[in-house]
Amino acid sequence: MKRLIAILPVAAFVLVLLGFMVGLRRDPAILPSMLIGKPLPAFNLPPLKASEPGLASADLTGEPMLLNVFASWCGPCREEQPTLLQMKSEGVKIVGLDWKEEAAAGARWLDENGDPYLRTGNDSTGRAGIDLGVSGVPETFVVDRRGRVRYRQVGAITPEVWVQTIAPLMAKLKAES
């Protein structure tokens, strides 16, 4: 019995050590999405500007496109903006979801930094973002022509991410259409 009591802390330490070793092999930047392969959750958001249309999940059907979640207070969003504008100039269809802020702030930010979006909706309450599983901004969802999520990019879209990951997927989805 005394021997078992002496071995128990060593066994517990070995189990904890094995758990840490398994955890170190995982990439902490990868945040899986439960939406992959599933339809976008239903949402219908008001516009940033009264003169423009808002954004609804039904708008993300017909052809592959990107749903980019952004905010004016987001530093990495500012970093990805030139890439989004370049993608727009190349014909990439992008819609925007302005997350957790007043519409006027998002509209002003787009006026100052360029607007890469076909449509933009304001999610001031953050409800649509919660339904999408957004953990922070920026996040981008690749959506196929049927409105199903095919990929989730956590963090800014850099030129490398665009060329190496998202552009090939978009080309594949267009070929499927």
Q: Which amino acid is at 138?
A: P
Give tens-digit pLDDT for 16-58: 666 666 656 654 445 567 899 999 999 999 999 999 999 999 9
- CA dist 80 and 39 (Å) reads 26
Task: Give one word for 84, left, alpha or beta, with left for phi > 0 and alpha for psi -120 to 50.
Answer: alpha
Q: 121: which strand partners?
A: 47, 97
Structural domains of the chain ordered from first start? 32-176 (3.40.30.10)
Predicted model pTM: 0.83
Give tens-digit pLDDT for 90-114: 999 999 999 999 999 999 999 999 9
Alpha-carbon separation of residue 125 from 23, 46, 83, 112, 129 (angstroms) = 34, 12, 27, 24, 9
Residue 157 scores a pLDDT above 60: yes
